[in-house]
Chain A
C-alpha cells in the first residue's frame, strides 16, 4: 500500500499548489495508507468517457468517470470542510496557494468576492456544486480530466 510520502515523490505533484489536497483525495477518511483498490478507485475518475455507454444503464449507479463525477472530484478539492459549498475563505486559501504573496490581501479578497459574484446564483455567497458545474459548463472537462493511454 502507498503512503503520502510516496505520492510526494512525484515531481508534478510536489510542485503543484494543490498537490497536498490531491494526495488527500486518494486516502479515505482518516487513514494513512491506501491499497491498490482505493488507488484504482480514485484514478477511475480519470477514465475517458465513452459516448455509447450513456444509453446503457441509466437505472444503475452512475459510473465513476461521468462528467458529473469528475467535476465532483474537482469540487471536493476546493471544498475542504465538506459542506458542499465553496466559501469565500476556501477560495482565499486556494488563491494564496496559487499566487503567494505577490498580490496584496485586499486584492485577493476582491478576486474571491468577484469569483463568487460571477458564479453564485442563489445568493448564498458560496459556490454550490450546481453553480460550480455551471461555471465549468463551457470547459471541456471530459477531455482535460481524462488520461488517455495507447502505448
Chain B
C-alpha cells in the first residue's frame, strides 16, 4: 500500500525532494552504478519520465545539476547499451532483478519500524519506490513488457480499490457506535441481542426489496388502478365507514383493498407493455423469500461455526494480562475513555464469573439429581400448559356455536395465553436455580423452555386461523353462485329488448363479493404483528422506563430503599427479547405470502426498535449481577431461527398445495390450485421441450434416488466433520497438558527437592541470578527429550534459550559455574513425588539413577 501511495500520490513531493535525495549522494551514486553495472535496459517510457523530471528540477541548484548530469549519463549509457542488452537479458539477471525488487518492496513495507532518522527514511523510501516502479515493468520479456507493467499497475490499483472498498463497507455498518456503547456498559451478552437485531434488520430489508420491487411496484404502476375492478374496490355496503380510523386500525376499509394485501392483485397473466407476468412473479417471490431466508440463516451458522474453532489459546495469564495490558493508550476522547473504563470493569467481572464457575467442585451426584428433578418439574409444567391450551381451544369452539356468550367466554383463549406467557417464564427461572449452571448455559436452557411454551401459543393461533379459512371456503361456494346469477340478471335487465347494445357494466362496488380467505389470513397476521409491536413498546416504556423513574424519584420519600430492595432497576431481559424477535420473524414469514406489505411494516418496526431499545437500555437498565461473556458463536439464536423458519414454512406450503384459491380475488383467482401458475407458464411461455424435461424430472423414480444421494452426502460430511473436531480437541488437550506440566515443574521445583535447595543456596542470593539458573535448568530439563542428559551448548545458545533476556548486560559468571554442575542435578531431578505423570516424562532415562526418590 505504501508503495502504491508513493507512486500515485507523492509524485509532486518526489520531484521536490530530488534535491534532498542527493544528500545521501553516496547511496544514490551506488544505485546509479548498480544500474549501470547490470546494464539494465530502462523502459523507454521511464527514460522519458526521468528526463522530464530532470528538466523540471533544473532550477534546483548545483546538486540538482550534478544529479541530472549523472542521470543523463546513465540514460545515455543505457540507451547505447539498449539495443545490445535487449537480447542479453539472461535468466540470472532476471532472477537477480526480481530478488532485488522483492527486497525493495520488503524494505518499503517495514520502513516504519526502522529506527533511523527521518531524513534517511524518506530518502531510502523514495529510492526504493522509484526502483520498484522502474524495474517491475522491466521484468516482463520483450513485447510482453508493456503488458506486464500494465498488469502490475492494474493489480496494484485493484488491491488499493479493494482495500478502500472494505474500509467504506465497514464505515457503512449502521449503529456500530451505539452497539459498542451498550457493549462496554452491559457486557457482550446484551450486545449480542442488538447485533442479532441488526442482522435481522438487514435480512428484512432484502426481503422487503424483493417483494416491493417485484410484486407491489409492478401492480401499482402497471396494473389496473383502484376502483376499476370489483376486487380493488370497497363494496358499497362498507363505503360509508371505510375511512373511519377505527376501521382502518382493524385493517379493514380502504386498507383492505390496497396493494398491502393479497386480494388486490389481478389475475391477468401479463400486465403492462412489458408483459410482466405478475401471478408468476408473485408465486416465485413467495418461494424465494423462504429460500433466501434459509440460505442466509444457514450461511450465518456456518460462518459462526468456523469462528468458534479458532479459539484463543492463551489462558495462562488471564488476570495478569487484563491488569497490565487492557488500557488502550490511543484513546483521547473522554466519552470513549468512559466506555473503556466500563468495558474494563465488565471484562473483570466476566472473568470473575468464569473463574468461579470453573472452580466449583461439588458433589456431582447431588448436582445431577437436582438437574433431573428440575427438568422433570419443567416438563410437567409444559405438559400442563399444553393441555390447558388444548382444553381452552376446544371450549372456545363449542362456545362459538352457542348463542349468547359473555365477554369472558369470547376472549378466554387470549386471556389464558397471556397469563401463561406472563407467569411461566419466571417460574422456569426459579426452578432453574436448582440446576446451578453457568449463566451462559442457563440462558440457553431458559430460551429453549420458553420457546416450547410459545409453540403452544402458535398452535392455537394457527388452529383458529384454519377454522376460519375452512369456514370461508364453504361460504365461497354460496357466494359464487350468487355473484353469477346477479351478473346474469344485470345483463338481462340492462340489455332489455335490444341484445346488440352492450350492457353498461355493473359498478364494481355493487358486485357481490366472495369472502376472500387469503386477505383475511393476511389481515390476521398484520393485526397480530401490530399488536405485538405495541405490546412490546408499552412494556418497555412502562416496565423499564416508568419503573426507573419511579425508583429514582420516589425513593426520596419511601420507607425502604427502592433501589436496592423490591422494584429496583430492571435488568435487560435477554431471553424475552430474543424470543420476541424470533417469533415475530416467524409471523412475518408466515404472513408475507398473503400480505405483501407486512415485510415493510416489519422493517419500520425493527428500525424504530433499534433506536428505542438502545435508548431504553442505556437510560433505565442496570447491568446484570453476574455479567457473563456471550458465547463466541451466535449459533444458538440461529438454530432457533431456523426452527421457526421451518415451522412457518409448513402452513404456507400446506395452503398453497391443498387449498383452492378464492375465485374472485388475488393473482391466482380462477385456478384450481395456486401452483397451477407454474404449469401454465411452462406450457405457454417456454418452448415445448422444456415442458417435456420438467415432466421427466418430476418423475418419482428420479426424485427418490436424488433424495437418497443427498442423505448419503450429509452422512458422509457429518462423519468427516466429527473426525476433524475430534482431532482438534486432541491437539488442544495436548497443548494444554504441556503447558500445565511446565507450570507445575516451575511451581514445584523449589519445594520438592532438598538437594536442589542446597545447590541454590550455594549460588549468589540475588533474585536475578536465582531466576536465571532456574530457567537454565528448565532449558536443560526440556532439552534431553531423547538426547543425552549431559549437553553443553555454547554460551550463546544458552543465552538465546533462556526466556528472560534480563541478564544480557549483567555480569555473568555465576551461570558458568551452575552450568558445569548442571548435569549432576539432572540425576537428582528424578520424578517428583506426588506429581502426576502423564505419558512418558522426558526424563525417561534418568529415574533409574534416582537417589532415594520414588520412581513412578
Contact = CB atoms under 8 A, between A and B. Distances in A.
B803 A94 contact: no
Contacts of A115: 319-320, 323
A149 interface: yes
Interface string B303-322: 00000000000101111110
B721 to A, nearest CB: 30
Nearest to B772: A130
Contacts of B344: 98-99
Determine the main DSSP class of B at the interface with A. helix
B767 interface: yes
Given A12-B330, A68-B808, A48 B114 contact: yes
Contacts of A48: 112-115
B318 A118 contact: yes
B332 A12 contact: yes
A56 interface: no
Interface stretch (A14-22, A25-33, A35-43): A14-22
A136 interface: yes
A34 interface: no
A74 to B, nearest CB: 7
A80 interface: no
B348 interface: yes
Contact of B771 (A66, A74, A78, A128): A128
Interface in B92-124: 111-115, 118, 121
Contacts of A99: 341, 344-345, 348
- Taking residues whose C-beta sits less than 8 angstroms from the other chain, chain A's interface range is 35 or more
B112 A129 contact: no
A150 B125 contact: yes
Contacts of A150: 2, 111-112, 121, 125
A95 B767 CA distance: 26
B323 A121 contact: no
Contact of A130 (B327, B767, B809): B767
Contacts of A16: 327, 329, 331, 337
Interface string A61-82: 1100111100000100010000
Interface in A64-114: 65-68, 74, 78, 84, 91, 94-95, 98-100, 102-103, 107, 110-111, 114
Nearest to A22: B329
- Taking residues whose C-beta sits less than 8 angstroms from the other chain, chain B's interface range is 35 or more
A101 B125 CA distance: 50
Contacts of A136: 324-325
A61 B804 CA distance: 17
- Nearest 8 interchain pairs by C-beta: A148-B112, A15-B337, A48-B113, A130-B771, A12-B332, A99-B345, A102-B345, A115-B319
Contact of A47 (B115, B118, B319, B326): B115
Nearest to A110: B352
Contacts of A47: 115
A12 B337 CA distance: 9
B747 interface: yes
A98 B803 CA distance: 30
B349 interface: yes
B61 to A, nearest CB: 25
B806 interface: yes
Contacts of B770: 122
Nearest to A67: B805
A62 B332 contact: no
B750 interface: yes
Nearest to B337: A15
B768 A118 contact: no
Interface string B794-833: 0000000001111011000000000000000000000000
B704 to A, nearest CB: 56
A65 B114 CA distance: 12
A4 interface: no
Interface in A101-151: 102-103, 107, 110-111, 114-115, 118-119, 121-123, 128-131, 133-139, 146, 148-150
B355 interface: yes
B804 A133 contact: yes
A130 B750 contact: no
Interface string B340-370: 0110110011001001000000000000000
Contact of B118 (A49, A130, A149): A149
A146 B355 CA distance: 33
Contacts of B111: 150
A98 B326 contact: yes
A67 to B, nearest CB: 7
B327 A107 contact: no
A130 B112 contact: no
A118 B324 CA distance: 13
Contact of A139 (B318, B321, B345, B771): B321
A101 to B, nearest CB: 10
A95 B329 contact: no
B334 interface: yes
B324 A130 contact: no
Given A15-B334, A68-B806, A146-B113, A111 B348 contact: yes
Interface in B736-768: 746-747, 750, 767-768
A15 B332 contact: yes
A91 B771 contact: no
A53 B116 CA distance: 12
27 contacts: A12-B330, A15-B331, A15-B332, A16-B329, A16-B337, A49-B115, A50-B114, A61-B809, A65-B115, A68-B808, A74-B324, A95-B323, A98-B323, A98-B341, A107-B352, A110-B352, A114-B355, A118-B318, A119-B320, A121-B771, A122-B771, A129-B806, A131-B771, A133-B805, A135-B317, A135-B324, A148-B113
A54 B319 CA distance: 32
Given A121-B747, A138-B314, 10 more contacts: A15-B337, A17-B341, A78-B324, A110-B352, A114-B319, A114-B355, A128-B767, A133-B804, A135-B317, A150-B2
Given A50-B115, A119-B320, A135-B317, A12 B329 contact: yes
A58 B771 CA distance: 21
A49 B767 CA distance: 28
A134 B453 CA distance: 53
A107 to B, nearest CB: 6
A118 B319 contact: yes
Contacts of A49: 113, 115
B112 A149 contact: yes
B400 to A, nearest CB: 58
A48 B113 CA distance: 5
